[in-house]
């Protein structure tokens, strides 16, 4: 029995060693969705390699890393299935309001159509609506107004066919301004609703 087991184990160990020697690891830096520069550092026991251009890559075989330049076509061929399995990236939108109320500006009413369209195209959507105000008025009044703004947009989304259980709406008052101002200063960019679609 011992001899038979050795006859099986020795070839299995050799095959395992050969397969281990053939395995490789690849890292390819993909371009960022918004076009901004990005980079990644790949480290191992022998040092590190900086990948700082789109489609720059490293190929590890055995104990060494070799750098190479890939192409969009090569990335699609090699990693296409994995990339296709990724969830759709979240999107963010800003809608602005007229001063003192929960009525969208005419420009934001037009932008709302894009938000509706994207939500309709996503298979399993979740939407967060966050209302904000400028610093005109009391904290309590702005908390209430920001919640009303968020609920107004939530209501528009429900009217557009988005299921209510897929929507969450909250108000942040004047706490997270886009433009920092003194108290009691009206700032149109702070009178907004942020919509996160994921």
Compute the half-sphere exposure of residue 156: CA atoms within 13 Å on the CB side of its CA: 21
The pLDDT tens digits for 3-45 are 444 444 444 433 443 334 445 688 899 998 778 888 899 888 7
Write phi, then psi, for 7 (nearest 5 degrees): -65, -30
> How, if at all, do strands 56-61 and 64-69 pair?
antiparallel
Per-residue model confidence as pLDDT tens digits over 36-91: 888 899 888 788 889 999 999 998 777 778 889 999 999 999 999 998 888 888 99
* Continuous H helices in 23-93: 72-84
Domain boundaries, the chain: 24-84, 91-197
* Digit-coded pLDDT (tens) for 165-190: 999 999 999 999 999 999 999 999 99
In DSSP terms, 92 is beta-bridged to 196
CATH number (3.30.1330.60, 3.40.50.300, 3.40.50.2300, 3.40.630.40) of 91-197 reads 3.30.1330.60
């Amino acid at each position: 029995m011992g001899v038979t087991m050795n006859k099986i184990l020795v070839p299995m160990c050799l095959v395992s060693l050969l397969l281990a020697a053939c395995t490789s690891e690849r890292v390819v830096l993909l371009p960022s969705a918004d076009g901004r520069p990005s980079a990644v550092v790949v480290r191992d026991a022998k040092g590190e390699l900086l990948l700082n251009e789109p489609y720059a890559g490293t190929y590890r075989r055995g104990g060494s890393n070799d750098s190479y330049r890939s192409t969009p076509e090569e990335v699609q061929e090699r990693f296409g299935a994995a990339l296709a399995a990724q969830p759709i990236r979240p999107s963010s939108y800003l809608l602005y309001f007229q001063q003192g109320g929960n009525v969208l500006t005419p420009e934001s009413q037009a932008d709302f159509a894009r938000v509706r369209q994207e939500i309709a195209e996503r298979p399993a959507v979740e939407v967060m609506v966050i209302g904000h105000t400028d610093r005109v008025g009391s904290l309590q009044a702005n908390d209430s107004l920001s919640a009303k703004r968020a609920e107004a947009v939530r209501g528009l989304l429900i009217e557009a066919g988005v299921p209510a259980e897929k929507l969450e709406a909250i108000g942040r008052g004047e706490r997270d301004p886009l433009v920092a101002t003194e108290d009691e200063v009206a700032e149109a960019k702070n009178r907004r609703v942020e919509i996160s679609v994921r």
